[in-house]
């Protein structure tokens, strides 16, 4: 189907804005979801002029991480375009991955004299400590012939490992034993092809241990999320869309860059994102505007804060509408119900204003109302094609 869609792409002058309210979907708390509890006159008015529906991010019952959730919204089947955690971690800190690189997440940990893990998080060392230790390893590690080794701090005890220069295989067992009192696991090859990578990793881990032997806390590493980096076909290649990402968090910028969007750096607040949208509106076809705080308040389990965040976003809707995009989509990458305080599998509401919208009588932008909308229910990645049609960017199939 992907090939068929790509063969139907046609150029157009239309402009598309996709506003992603991260994790906005919820479950009722005292009878109302966060969207139902919020006072959001602009979103509701928009829903009344739009088509609405429900999107299932990955597959019924599957809770998406941030990567797959966004991939789906961007029309990339998140099962096919699976992106390993190591690579996501690298994208999150804007590490310039090259095709063929092997990335892995590092947890610094503490081991005792027998090599048994005593603290899987090395006492949650500070970001500064993490930086210092990464530098120490980069400067002192002996290395493996033909392989470049990069360590980069992420946050607290978390860091990134990237290997470059050989053909690697990601089918390696994670070394985190998931409990204390035992040594780290070996980076075993899960398939035969992974043996050379496994042997390199064993050497590197052993060298790191030597470099860190005098450290009081972070004296060992645990490796997780081994992932080879491969280039994905980008927005322009697949859709003919010149796309810009307006996001403040590194992870979302990284995902956008991976898909060939131009990322505007230096954005912090919502105000800055929406101002940037206005300033750049003439220069791109597609705009991804990312709102983080609906998700983070949900993850904090803070119902009222999430409601407030929705209301805050609502106030910016007239600013988007004033730009008169041909297609305006509001949706989410996944649900983060505050009563659950984590991502969930629940479908997310979507609204789309377009010149061709089959307006459906839905009066509000929330989970219950949008269930009755004329977009119906579909997988997130299928919706992108539907949106492209509304932007006059797809030819007819067959005669």
Residues in touch with its own copies (CB under 8 A)? 1, 4-5, 8, 27-28, 31, 33, 54, 58-69, 78-79, 82-83, 85, 88-89, 225, 337, 340, 343-347, 356-361, 367-368, 371-374, 376-378, 382-390, 394-399
CB of 362 to its own copies, least distance (A): 10
Sign of the torsion angle spanned by Cα atoms 84, 89, 92, 98: negative
Q: Which is nearer to its own copies, 283 or 358 (CB)?
A: 358
CB of 227 to its own copies, least distance (A): 10
Q: Which is nearer to its own copies, 15 or 129 (CB)?
A: 15
Q: Which is nearer to its own copies, 274 or 381 (CB)?
A: 381
CB of 200 to its own copies, least distance (A): 24
C-beta of residue 334 within 8 angstroms of C-beta of residue 64: yes
CB of 44 to its own copies, least distance (A): 18
Residues 171 and 190: their CA atoms lie apart, in Å, by: 5
Q: Which is nearer to its own copies, 101 or 360 (CB)?
A: 360
Strand 148-155 versus strand 16-21 pairing type: unpaired
CB of 393 to its own copies, least distance (A): 9
CB of 163 to its own copies, least distance (A): 19
Residue tagged 């991480």 (tokens): 65
Residues 330 and 274: their CA atoms lie apart, in Å, by: 14
Q: Which is nearer to its own copies, 198 or 380 (CB)?
A: 380
C-beta of residue 130 within 8 angstroms of C-beta of residue 155: yes
Tokens of 3: 């090939």
C-beta of residue 138 within 8 angstroms of C-beta of residue 153: no
Sign of the torsion angle spanned by Cα atoms 241, 247, 252, 257: positive
SS3 117: strand
Residues 174 and 118: their CA atoms lie apart, in Å, by: 18
Q: Which is nearer to its own copies, 95 or 386 (CB)?
A: 386
């Amino acid at each position: 189907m992907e090939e068929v869609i790509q063969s139907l792409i046609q150029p157009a002058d239309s402009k598309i804005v996709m506003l992603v309210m991260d994790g906005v979907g919820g479950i009722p708390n005292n009878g109302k979801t966060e969207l139902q509890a919020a006072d959001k006159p602009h979103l509701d008015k928009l829903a009344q002029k739009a088509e609405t529906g429900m999107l299932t991010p990955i597959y019924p019952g599957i809770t998406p991480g941030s990567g797959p959730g966004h991939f789906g919204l961007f029309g990339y089947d998140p099962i096919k375009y699976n992106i390993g955690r190591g690579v996501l971690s690298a994208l999150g800190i804007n590490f310039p991955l090259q095709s063929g690189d092997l990335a892995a997440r590092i947890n610094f940990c503490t081991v005792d004299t027998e090599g048994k893990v005593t603290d899987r998080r090395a006492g949650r060392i500070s970001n500064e400590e993490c930086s210092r230790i990464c530098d120490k390893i980069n400067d002192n590690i002996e290395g493996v012939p033909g392989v470049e080794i990069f360590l980069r701090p992420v946050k607290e005890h978390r860091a990134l490992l990237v290997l470059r220069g050989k053909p690697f295989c990601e089918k390696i067992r994670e070394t985190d034993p998931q409990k204390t009192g035992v040594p780290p696991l070996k980076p075993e090859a899960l398939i035969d092809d992974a043996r050379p990578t496994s042997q390199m990793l064993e050497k590197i881990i052993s060298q790191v241990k030597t470099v860190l032997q005098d450290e009081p806390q972070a004296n060992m590493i645990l490796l997780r999320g081994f992932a080879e980096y491969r280039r994905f076909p980008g927005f322009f290649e697949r859709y003919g869309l010149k796309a810009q990402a307006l996001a403040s968090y590194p992870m979302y910028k990284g995902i956008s860059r991976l898909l060939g969007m131009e990322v505007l750096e230096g954005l912090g607040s919502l105000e800055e994102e929406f101002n940037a949208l206005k300033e750049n509106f003439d220069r791109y076809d597609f705009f991804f505007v990312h709102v983080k705080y609906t998700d983070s308040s949900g993850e904090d389990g803070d119902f009222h804060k999430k409601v407030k965040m929705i209301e805050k976003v609502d106030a910016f809707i007239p600013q988007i509408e004033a730009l008169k995009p041909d297609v305006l989509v509001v949706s989410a990458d996944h649900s983060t119900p505050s009563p659950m305080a984590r991502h969930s599998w629940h479908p997310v509401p979507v609204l789309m204003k377009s010149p061709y919208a089959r307006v459906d009588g839905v009066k509000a932008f929330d989970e219950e109302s949008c269930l009755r909308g004329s977009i119906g229910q579909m997988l997130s990645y299928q919706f992108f094609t539907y949106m492209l049609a509304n932007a006059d960017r797809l030819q007819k199939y067959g005669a």
